[in-house]
A = this chain, B = another copy of it.
Amino acid sequence: MEFEQAWLDYTKKASCKGSEDIKYICVKTRGEEQDELIKNGILELQRAFAGILGIELTVCQNLGEGHGICLTLTEGIQTEAYHVYENKGEITIEASDSKGILYGAFELIRQVRIGNPLGGLDLFKAPKMPMRMLNHWDNMDGSIERGYSGESFFFKQDRILVDERTVTYARLTASVGINAVVINNVNVKDAATWLITERYLDKVKELSDIFAGYGIKLYMSLNYAAPIELGELDSADPLSEDVRGWWKRQMELVFNRVPNLGGFLIKADSEGRPGPFTYGRTHADGANMLAEAAAPYGGKIIWRCFVYNCQQDWRDYKTDRARSGYDNFKGLDGEFLDNVILQIKNGPMDFQVREPVHPLFGGMTQTNQMLEVQIAQEYTGQQRHLCYLIPMFKEVLKFRTYVQEQDDTVEDIVSGRTFGQHNCGMAAVANTGDDANWTGHDMAAANWYGFGRLAFEPELSAEEIAKEWIRLTFGIDKQVEETLLFMLMTSWKAYEEYTSPLGIGWMVNPNYHYGPSVDGYEYSRWGTYHRADHMGIGVDRSREGTGYALLYNEPNASVYDDKEKCPDELLLFFHHIPYTWKLKSGKTVIQHIYDTHFDGVDMVDEMVERFMKLEGILPQKPYLRMVERFTHQKEHAREWRDQINAYFYRKSGISDEKGREIY
């Protein structure tokens, strides 16, 4: 399959003040050999300078030979951090490790391409989060669970693919500071169970070696039942000596064969996946068994907290899926080994357009935690709608958990500041596939780019990240930048407005999760209800309801528990509210529903109208691809608007104050 270069397209010419005299590149090590990362850094700088500026960088021993860039390995800088600065026309990229050098090289290229002059350049950057990870939900048959950008480029027909695209993927990923990648779906079945066996290890190593050259640790998702399914044992009990022994031998094999292996991701006892519950054991038992086996090799075990009863009876108003992550894991705080990291979704349900922050953040104090977000737009338009998610992730990161008086935000926790942890960070379910533009929707690439940048530098604003991405992808053009920035920054809000209102979520078609179906999940087994009747809507999660609101630390608990204090955008998540209830905005709930749905469509119309003016300015290929998506989004946003409004009008019998057409 053909593929493009996304934000690393060096064919776009640019000018850069201060670059005129640069001709050389040199490396100063502390005596050690240049490793692959440094070589790749040099290569990247050579390609970029040649492509963008027409400058052929010659490798030399010492910059005495002329002006240039010096890659300098030094001491005393935090791992992965870099210092890029200009001094008398020379550019230095300084770091303590070769990964820092590589990141510095990408930083320099970025600075050149977004139009910053080299004179006076002085950037010191250190990643805030230790782990910055992508989770690919790629299956070995080549399909991608919740993939909206074609097929997998890691797997095809139960084979592992390693080719030119793999290298480009690693470059793109490393260029935004991502340092870990899980290559296979968390739902591990069939051939994927065998990834940790001789059948695949040669090829895993080959893939992993490419990653290593870009500072990316390779992770795999594990099948918890592997000891059984690989045909050797009749149990997967984490306390069984046979099972523990089996995993130790398997880990020894895998880590020895794949030196760049970072560890494993596990979805256990969730949505039909096997786990320690089968044997009456806890998640800590399960995770620790694997962690013990992986520890000798520095391996990490990332254990997902997405555990809930997916056989719920919709008639049951007491069981609350939102509570389940907390209820399952809170009691285990302190029991996990240090190389275990719990991976917790941003919200307690499942990547809806609006959810409260997961109460395990701030709920656990002695457990390594990683924030899981989803840039695959499963519930946010499936990369047919534009939905720039960085503003949402920013809100999550800034959320104060009140677990202590300061340094208590989600960002503090997953950066390790709150509890002095090192095994923590942020993971995103990836939005890539083998489409030429990698992400289906060209602008969805901003979420991939943005996730990496945000995890590395959470202090960046969503706008700053968006601007970088626009310039890197489409070059420097005022109209393009203003238009696309407006679109990106409007898109999440617009999507929220024309889809499910006030934090209630889930009004989508079952199974494929696309398009409106207000009752689609209402009478299902998934624990996902809105409880709308002719009087009102919402789930009572207050102390009088499921008590979920009380899982938060104060004052969050009191705010969420009280419908008068609860923020509008989460009101229906926490409370069952009459349609005639006045929101803080002064509108009734029903009028809010109508207004936001009309407004959301208007926003889309404005986005698309502005976009259309870029005809002839944007390159034709991505322009036409996006025109097709935006045309669909316009139409589909109307479908959302009309179905949601019709549903609530038919149910409540209350007319729109403004007399607009509701069917």
Query: B-contacting residues of A (Cβ < 8 Å)?
Result: 314-315, 509-510, 516-519, 523, 532-535, 639, 642-643, 646-647, 649-653, 663
Q: Are A315 and B650 in contact (CB under 8 A)?
A: no
Instruction: Contacts A519-B519, A534-B652, A651-B651 known; list 6 others, CB within 8 Å.
Output: A517-B519, A517-B523, A519-B647, A523-B646, A533-B649, A534-B653
Nearest 5 pairs of A and B residues by beta carbon = A533-B650, A534-B653, A315-B663, A523-B643, A519-B519
Q: Are A663 and B534 in contact (CB under 8 A)?
A: no
Q: What's the least CB distance linking A540 to chain B, in Å?
A: 15
Residues in B with CB closer than 8 Å to A314 are: 663
Q: What's the least CB distance linking A261 to chain B, in Å?
A: 41
Per the bound structure, the CA–CA distance linking A314 and B642 in Å amounts to: 10
Q: Are B534 and A523 in contact (CB under 8 A)?
A: no
Per the bound structure, the CA–CA distance linking A642 and B516 in Å amounts to: 23
Per the bound structure, the CA–CA distance linking A642 and B313 in Å amounts to: 11
Per the bound structure, the CA–CA distance linking A651 and B653 in Å amounts to: 9
Residue of B nearest to A662 (CB): B315
Residue of B nearest to A654 (CB): B534
Residues in B with CB closer than 8 Å to A642 are: 315, 523
A519-B517, A519-B519 known; A533 and B315 CB under 8 Å? no
How many chain copies does the complex carry? 2
Q: Are A650 and B523 in contact (CB under 8 A)?
A: no
Contact partner of A651 among B516, B517, B650, CB < 8 A? B650
Residue of B nearest to A532 (CB): B650
Residues in B with CB closer than 8 Å to A534 are: 534, 650-653
Residues in B with CB closer than 8 Å to A535 are: 653
Q: What's the least CB distance linking A651 to chain B, in Å?
A: 6
Per the bound structure, the CA–CA distance linking A481 and B653 in Å amounts to: 52
Main secondary structure of the interface of A (DSSP, over half): loop
Residues in B with CB closer than 8 Å to A650 are: 532-534, 651
Residues in B with CB closer than 8 Å to A519 are: 517-519, 647
- A–B pairs, 26, beta carbons within 8 Å: A314-B663, A315-B642, A315-B663, A509-B510, A516-B523, A517-B519, A517-B523, A518-B519, A519-B519, A519-B647, A523-B639, A523-B642, A523-B646, A532-B650, A533-B649, A533-B650, A533-B651, A533-B653, A534-B534, A534-B650, A534-B651, A534-B652, A534-B653, A535-B653, A650-B651, A651-B651
Per the bound structure, the CA–CA distance linking A324 and B141 in Å amounts to: 43
Residues in B with CB closer than 8 Å to A651 are: 533-534, 650-651
Per the bound structure, the CA–CA distance linking A642 and B523 in Å amounts to: 9
Q: What's the least CB distance linking A176 to chain B, in Å?
A: 39
Residues in B with CB closer than 8 Å to A516 are: 523
Residue of B nearest to A643 (CB): B523
Per the bound structure, the CA–CA distance linking A573 and B535 in Å amounts to: 28
Per the bound structure, the CA–CA distance linking A535 and B314 in Å amounts to: 25
Per the bound structure, the CA–CA distance linking A646 and B651 in Å amounts to: 13
Per the bound structure, the CA–CA distance linking A315 and B647 in Å amounts to: 12
Residues in B with CB closer than 8 Å to A509 are: 510
Residue of B nearest to A531 (CB): B650
Residue of B nearest to A663 (CB): B315
Per the bound structure, the CA–CA distance linking A532 and B518 in Å amounts to: 14
Residues in B with CB closer than 8 Å to A518 are: 519
Residue of B nearest to A646 (CB): B523
Q: What's the least CB distance linking A648 to chain B, in Å?
A: 10
Q: What's the least CB distance linking A512 to chain B, in Å?
A: 10
Q: What's the least CB distance linking A86 to chain B, in Å?
A: 60
Residue of B nearest to A653 (CB): B534
Q: What's the least CB distance linking A303 to chain B, in Å?
A: 35
Per the bound structure, the CA–CA distance linking A206 and B663 in Å amounts to: 57
Per the bound structure, the CA–CA distance linking A534 and B642 in Å amounts to: 17
Q: What's the least CB distance linking A272 to chain B, in Å?
A: 19
Q: What's the least CB distance linking A238 to chain B, in Å?
A: 35
Residue of B nearest to A535 (CB): B653
Residues in B with CB closer than 8 Å to A647 are: 519
Residue of B nearest to A510 (CB): B509
Residue of B nearest to A518 (CB): B519
Residue of B nearest to A644 (CB): B523
Q: What's the least CB distance linking A9 to chain B, in Å?
A: 40
Interface centre among A510, A518, A646, A651, by most chain B C-beta atoms within 10 angstroms, is: A651
Per the bound structure, the CA–CA distance linking A13 and B535 in Å amounts to: 65
Residue of B nearest to A534 (CB): B653
Q: What's the least CB distance linking A361 to chain B, in Å?
A: 34
Residues in B with CB closer than 8 Å to A652 are: 534
Residue of B nearest to A642 (CB): B315
Interface centre among A510, A518, A523, A643, by most chain B C-beta atoms within 10 angstroms, is: A523
Q: What's the least CB distance linking A375 to chain B, in Å?
A: 28
Residue of B nearest to A317 (CB): B663
Per the bound structure, the CA–CA distance linking A646 and B533 in Å amounts to: 9
Per the bound structure, the CA–CA distance linking A650 and B523 in Å amounts to: 13
Q: What's the least CB distance linking A538 to chain B, in Å?
A: 13
Residue of B nearest to A516 (CB): B523
Q: What's the least CB distance linking A58 to chain B, in Å?
A: 59
Q: What's the least CB distance linking A70 to chain B, in Å?
A: 62
Q: What's the least CB distance linking A107 to chain B, in Å?
A: 50
Per the bound structure, the CA–CA distance linking A642 and B315 in Å amounts to: 9
Residue of B nearest to A315 (CB): B663
Residue of B nearest to A509 (CB): B510
Per the bound structure, the CA–CA distance linking A148 and B510 in Å amounts to: 22
Residues in B with CB closer than 8 Å to A646 are: 523
Q: What's the least CB distance linking A311 to chain B, in Å?
A: 13
Per the bound structure, the CA–CA distance linking A517 and B516 in Å amounts to: 14
Residues in B with CB closer than 8 Å to A523 are: 516-517, 639, 642-643, 646
Q: What's the least CB distance linking A572 to chain B, in Å?
A: 15
Interface centre among A315, A532, A642, A647, by most chain B C-beta atoms within 10 angstroms, is: A315
Q: What's the least CB distance linking A655 to chain B, in Å?
A: 12
Per the bound structure, the CA–CA distance linking A357 and B649 in Å amounts to: 34
Per the bound structure, the CA–CA distance linking A535 and B516 in Å amounts to: 23
Q: What's the least CB distance linking A643 to chain B, in Å?
A: 5
Per the bound structure, the CA–CA distance linking A259 and B639 in Å amounts to: 53
Residues in B with CB closer than 8 Å to A510 are: 509
Residue of B nearest to A649 (CB): B533
Q: What's the least CB distance linking A521 to chain B, in Å?
A: 11
